[in-house]
Amino acid sequence: SWDAKFLKVLDCLTGLIKWTRTGGDNEFDNQFEVIKSPSKKLSNRLEAQHLFLQGLRSLLQFVPSHVNGRVEEVVNCLLEVTCDAPFEIVHTSERALQNLVCGTDPDTCFQCLVPFLNDTDVDLSTKSNPPILLSTLRTLRHLIDRISPKTLENNFHSLLLPLFLTTLRHKSVDMRKATIFILVEVYFVLGDGMNMDNFTESQQRLIDVYITKHPKKQAMGDQTLDGVPISLQSKGISA
């Protein structure tokens, strides 16, 4: 049963993923050779890393409840492997993280993400994304409506908002978009508690565009007045 084998499989996969991060390609080629995918054009080391990540993702997708107690270790492994990694590695890691946060205790997952949100120096002078931060933001998006509203409220203005106000000014479109997607999810949990006054008028309009497109908003019905979103009416903005 998985009760007996899960931790052994988890340890094996996380260990192999960490192993593929420690050596150079030449060193790895002398020890290991994998069946390469012509479309990916990855080195042997990265092909193996991608394979192990897919295995870990399957574990988190089908038996996530068994990872409780090891969430922090898995979060760290999956986020750290995205640093300076190619698309295939980042994409698979983010999907695995999504499986993790959707299948385990949400408040525990949030606390495991906090260090990656806290200890980040965002350079607004470059278009390159800070290592790990983008994947952390993309993961947080899937967690917002699962953590308790009290946890979100307690951390939004003190921890999250200062970071978001910075990432919304980042030159990277991906960084700004990831932040907007999170703020949309926050809106559906906190409502007016998010306080749109914190954002510029253009940021407010962009947030409202994505709120309007969100399936939750469509299920609630159209809440505009004379073509202007309700959240902007208090600003005196007219059509």
Average pLDDT over residues 92-111: 96
Angle at the Cα of 181 (from 219 to 239), degrees rounded to 5?
Answer: 65
* Residue 200 contacts residue 171 (beta carbons within 8 Å): no
Question: What percentage of the chain carries pLDDT values higher than 90?
Answer: 62
Q: Which two tokens stand for residue 226?
A: 């004379």
pTM: 0.85
Which pLDDT score is estimated for 125?
Answer: 80
Q: Are 175 and 134 in contact (CB under 8 A)?
A: yes
The tens digit of pLDDT for each residue in 124-167 reads 888 887 779 999 999 999 999 999 999 999 999 999 999 999 99
Write out the H or E segment, with its range, that includes residue 225: strand 224-225
Burial level of 105, CB count in 10 A (0-12/13-18/19+)?
middle
